[in-house]
């Protein structure tokens, strides 16, 4: 049986359109709300068609010294041009971008995972320092 870690791909989000980009401050104050935005296709646009699209993104936080990762948020993207008239016939599309507000007293790693309906799971991580 394959391990989940073996199914998740990663790369530089500036060169690979499937990798979620994480926008957040490098440092925050203890107990302060931090805005974290996850975007797929920030530098290189990802297709958003009925046949090829980003279905969802999820955001996790792993506090330093703790055993488990905390699932912070998840966003579903359900409009990809589908219509009763056929594929890509709708005028409604969603952009794979989501923002969550996070508050913590510990430093740690933010991790975002995205799912492409054709190319599978992709991840990216970024450190958050707390002062």
Which residues are annotated as catalytic? Answer: 16-18, 46, 52, 116, 119
Which among 61, 60, 92, 98 has a CA at the least distance from the CA of 76? Answer: 98
Please classify residue 32 by burial: count the beta carbons closer than 10 Å to its beta carbon, then call 0-12 exposed, 13-18 middle and 19+ buried.
middle
| Number of helical (H) and strand (E) elements in the chain, helices listed first | 1, 9
| Per-residue tokens: 23 | 């926008």
């Amino acid at each position: 049986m394959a391990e989940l870690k073996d199914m998740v791909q990663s790369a530089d989000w500036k060169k690979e359109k499937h990798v979620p980009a994480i926008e957040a401050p490098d440092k925050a104050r203890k107990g302060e709300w931090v805005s974290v935005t996850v975007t797929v296709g920030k530098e290189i646009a990802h297709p958003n068609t009925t046949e090829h699209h980003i279905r969802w993104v999820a955001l996790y936080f792993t506090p330093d010294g703790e055993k488990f990762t905390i699932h912070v948020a998840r966003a579903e993207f359900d409009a990809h041009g589908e219509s009763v008239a056929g594929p890509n016939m709708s005028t409604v599309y969603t952009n794979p971008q989501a923002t969550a507000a996070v508050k913590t007293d510990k430093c740690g790693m933010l991790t975002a995972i995205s799912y492409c309906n054709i190319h599978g799971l992709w991840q990216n991580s970024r450190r958050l320092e707390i002062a």
